[in-house]
Structure 1
């Protein structure tokens, strides 16, 4: 059958579709293949509205559609990035601490981890042996220079290179435990020197997790003025001559975890560590570490206490009974010379009792007269060193600090200017402001 062309068409013009069904089908297939990736849109209603037609999107419409899709994809990407932050943030917070972040830690924790981590925030009571090797030294008499030769009361075997230790400038040891005051308030601790009492006592602890990546290196300790510890230890001789000891885990009290780092300084054949307030530790290295000389045992030594390490909770305070808190401890990280053969250690000097009774006012757990005041990180050093004063702040920025010597609350304005001494229970002013007296803001 002949194909009829349009009379007005040039040579090669398309055939009339209605007369060639096969060509019509072929052309439709070609156009469909060419436009298969182009979406179709519905045309506006025409005629009686029952006949629906569609067309391919124009280039302008396609560009607008692509712009809307890109905006939507960008929004999804931002939302996913926001959600990913919340997923990764807890992982970053719970990552084990890196080397050099603590001096002592529980050996029950894995390498690189310094905190007990559980959903309830529970910190267990642990044995002192979980933190390291412990030795308790003391003396009952002074030499001609007024120093106290220290002898071993109990504990682990001491390093052969330790030689001899003298405690200089310390008053008789012991703080007693007789206390008054209601629970939750400030207490007064009194003590007296009993017959045969120790005139000086120190506790030594070497970390048990040597090689743990979370512990300070010797090089780091040489450059530090203060170091972090997960253990604060207190040992005292009570009025009846018995020994009492306990410790606190500092995980939940950041204001308790930093203590001074002290280096020995050579003075002739001796090495001297200065603990402030005239208290020193004099070390004479053992020339021959293989010899049997060194620190002898203390004759008729009092029985060593069983020491547990508690979390800082009210329940623990009730078990200890009238505890003294870490800001009042005289404890240090003690670093020996590099060639000494003796590893750095944690040392606690028993709080002196003087030549008679002393009074020590424990910081209160709360300030009833100033309910808006909340505990904050301590900044002011306790007179005598080894700790910092308990501190609070209220919503107006006023600063409250506990004076353990007077048992009064020192209050400062938000600029650190002294406002006076006050009773923490009644709010009564005890002493007026002292001109020129300030505290760190």
Structure 2
């Protein structure tokens, strides 16, 4: 049996509405029963749990796409949470007119397992019904039912704008966003890739230089002077040091650094990319933006032809729909065909614990239990030693990431680790 144009789909109101959206888009149900909390019960729950807002997020996206099945809310009262028999009675009352030969699809989402017990009892009496669940770690469908035809649980046209709107965010300010793959919005006629091919080539060569030459070898060291002050060290050490250089000479410092690097690496000079006039040089702390491009273009190498990755963007601003203010900026973001958002946080300096945790929460808010905040460190490998103050900051950042339970990736491991992440 093909799982399309089904008669009845039951979903749970959830922060992670992407999973419900994908189920609806794939199954194309004629009737949706939305299990949600009544307002009285919702008011007793902890801050951040707002079922009405979650329901509106899904409804608004479906309306935008002219997807309008019959929709009915089944409200959970506090007494039903305590007594599952009452919850089961409420469900049975709402589906009593559906004959046993017509399958009902029950979509279980994270955090609703307690109610799954009651649903399983109902399904025992309805042999054609199907319970299904998207397992977060493996992104595979787990389902119960006699129908064994494989589910499709992916979308080929999912975009960042839809994913964010389902969580109550938008991406209206795209001036600073660099889109490397896919579209931000479905109605974009052209996939405007906001990057220069020479820029990408330049950063690929720069990455190779750092990995292969930027060690303790004397020949790879760079030295230059500004006034009566002399600077010396590896390219990476000097680049990171630029964050603490007096801002009045920071631009000159970086200009001299790249000029000396091109002398060491003629192949970089041959690329037609004017780093001195680049966007990153216009920033207050260019090192962070340089690092973002350095790592971002390596990630792009991995995802460019991977069909599971629908979108990739750098410097992607995310806004809260209610407040209208910028909530966060995702340094590097990937969007998979199962609605998973993978957020890479780049840091060329320290990473405070509260900052690490805020990024973890942001990604969780955007993609529910499937959010995967990843910390990218400028350290080439674990245990790398740099100049004392830099070493202290970077290793402190790694410890902050550890405390926030963020996975971290070292420079030389980027491609290998990203391949494992996306499967």
Question: Does TM-score exceed 0.5, indicating one fold?
Answer: no
Larger Rg: 1
TM-score, with length taken from structure 2: 0.20
Which has more strand, going by share of residues? 1
TM-score, with length taken from structure 1: 0.20
Which has more helix, going by share of residues? 2
